[in-house]
Amino acid sequence: MSLSKPLLFLLLGSELSLSSSLSVYQDRTFYTYISENNFIGFSQNVTAKCKGNTMALTQMLLCPAEERLCKLANDLKSLDEKKVLAMANIKALNQLMALPKPTVLDANTWIKSARLTAEEQSRLHKVSKELKNEITLKMNDFRKQAPSNYALKTNIQCENEIEVGISSGVYFTTQYEANIVDNKEIEVTQYLSLTNSSGIDIVAQNASFYYRSANQYVNPVYFNPWIVSTYVPRSKSMMRKTMMKKATTMHMPRAEAEAMAGDIAPISKVSYEDAREYKITNLTLPSTGVPMNVKIHSWKSTLDCEIRAYPYAKTSAFEVCSFTPKYQIDSHRWKIKSSDIVLNEDAVGEYKNKTYKLYTKVERDIQIQRKAMVKKERETGIFGGTVRKKDGFSLEITNKSDKSKIITLVERIPTSTTEEIKSKLLSVKSQKKVNYKMLKEGQIEMHINLAAFENRKIDVLFEISYDKDLKVSY
């Protein structure tokens, strides 16, 4: 279906626009419209239905000239014809030069003719090379837009709405952009990123996008009582029969399995109330292979940001911001901005502890070093058959910024899952008092206020006790 005519119909509010619709699922796309001809597109693995009846599809050599993709295909064909003509002329000149020379020659005439022939051969070779390069570039561009070089058509003209089922080529993803204001407020803008490389130009008044598959087989589950009975050993032959029966059920053809399961109520379609279902009106989505972003909505929420680090895993600090979403977040890749400054093109977010956490950027002003205690400082003693081993590590945190920074450090000491081994925190020492708390599973959470250009060293000491006959590792 061409772009220009449907667009005109859309503007005029015609019957064609009222009947065009698009439904995009994760595994399939359905495009319904009224066509003025039997042209489908430069596509593969598609189906077409008219009044619910499947229509046969065949390739066509000549497609409507007004169709956008047909124009591109015709341009390619025209370039190829010019290339063939140039090659034919080169061949003809070569044959002309190979003809027997006349016995009586006018030297000047022959030299002039040979020079002209050579110049024409050179020009034709240059033209042929340029045409070949242009064809390659345009063919690559065409293949990004359509999976096939041949146009498809229906064998008969459908006078009513035609429904085209597209297996691949039409995709959508959601994208989020966050604008952070003074680390206190976040404005979230959600976009749909649409891509069409199906070989079918789409114009739809109503387009729906669903984060679910169109084909969903729900295996019904029925109540089975849990029976207690006297144990009777089964013979090996009975066990083999049972296994064969299970294997037959698992590999049963889908049609037979559905027949045995009985009728399943179809899933009802939900209007745009869920963040995982979207609708767009008056959508023009040509098959260019280039993603098109459509804004869905924007909303604001209060924000709480902090600097965190987990030195036992990674010594770099990062900023994490928490907020309560007004709508469900269904994609966790973000673009983070502060006013017009891009902080992160590919940030990550996640739901955690009833809020949404957005990991905005690496805090490069904070430098952290983590070192194990020197071996000679470790003390191991045996008291009544129990080994008490002292161990620990030191942290050195530096604020390279000319502004004060508050950082949350999450550290750990070994934790035991058996009564035979015990672990406890002995001390967290620093020149300044460290505000910390001991949590479950050996987690230590420290809150540190670093002045501008301040350097702080923290020593963490713990003890592990166990029977002298045991060997432990951590």
Same domain as 207, residue 74: yes
Same domain as 215, residue 103: yes
- Is 351 domain-assigned? no
- Is 86 domain-assigned? yes
| Tokens 């001390």, residue located | 427
* pLDDT exceeds 50 at position 248: no
- Is 90 domain-assigned? yes
* pLDDT exceeds 80 at position 327: yes
Residue among 201, 213, 267, 286 nearest 23 (CA): 213
Same domain as 386, residue 273: no
DSSP bridge partners of 171: 195
Same domain as 124, residue 244: yes
- Is 95 domain-assigned? yes
β-strands 366-372, 386-399: how paired? Answer: antiparallel
Same domain as 141, residue 40: yes
Same domain as 275, residue 196: yes
Q: What's the mean pLDDT in 247-264?
A: 37
Range of the domain at 411: 367-467
| pLDDT value at residue 199 | 95
Same domain as 289, residue 374: no
Same domain as 249, residue 175: yes
Contact 399, 452 (CB under 8 A): yes
Rounded to 10 degrees, the C-alpha dihedral 197/198/203/206 comes to: -100
Contact 309, 257 (CB under 8 A): no
Residue among 394, 359, 352, 358 nearest 374 (CA): 394
116-150 pLDDT, tens per residue? 878 888 888 888 899 899 999 999 999 999 999 99
Same domain as 434, residue 296: no
Q: Which of 301, 323, 353 is the last residue of a domain?
A: 301
DSSP bridge partners of 83: none
Q: What's the mean pLDDT in 11-29?
A: 71
Same domain as 275, residue 404: no
CA dist 90 and 123 (Å) reads: 10
CA dist 388 and 380 (Å) reads: 6
CA dist 88 and 218 (Å) reads: 63
- Is 42 domain-assigned? yes
Where residue 384 sits, what CATH number does that domain have? 2.60.40
Count of domains observed in the chain: 2
23-33 pLDDT, tens per residue? 999 999 999 99
- Is 332 domain-assigned? no
Q: Which of 301, 321, 339 is the last residue of a domain?
A: 301
Contact 185, 303 (CB under 8 A): yes
Same domain as 381, residue 268: no
- Is 390 domain-assigned? yes
Same domain as 297, residue 393: no
Q: Which of 256, 284, 301 is the last residue of a domain?
A: 301
208-232 pLDDT, tens per residue? 999 888 888 888 888 887 877 666 6
- Is 156 domain-assigned? yes
69-112 pLDDT, tens per residue? 999 999 999 998 888 888 888 888 787 777 666 655 566 776 77
